Amino acid sequence: MRYGVAVFPSKKVQDVANSYRKRYDPHYALIPPHITMKEAFEAEEEEIENKIIPELSEIAKNTQPFSYGVYKVSSFSPVTNTIYLKIEPSDEIFELNDKLHAGELPEEKDFAFVPHITIAQKLSDEEFSDVYGSLRMLKFDLNDKVDRFQLLYQLENGAWSVYETFRLGKG
pLDDT at 105 (0 to 100): 79
Domain range list for the chain: 2-167
Q: State pLDDT tens for residues 49-72.
A: 999 999 999 999 999 999 999 999
Pairwise CA distance, residues 92 & 149, whole Å: 13
pTM of the model: 0.93
- Termini Cα distance of the chain: 28
Encode 70-81: b = buried (16+ Cβ within 10 Å), e = exposed.
Answer: beebbbeeeeeb
pLDDT value at position 102?
86
Please identify every stretch of the chain with a pLDDT value under 50, giving residue numbers as ranges.
Answer: none
pLDDT of residue 1: 93
3-state secondary structure of 145: strand
Q: How far apart are CA 31 and CA 48, in angstroms?
A: 21
Specify the pLDDT at position 171. 54
Q: Kindly report the CATH class assigned to 2-167.
A: alpha beta
Positions annotated as catalytic residues are: 34, 116
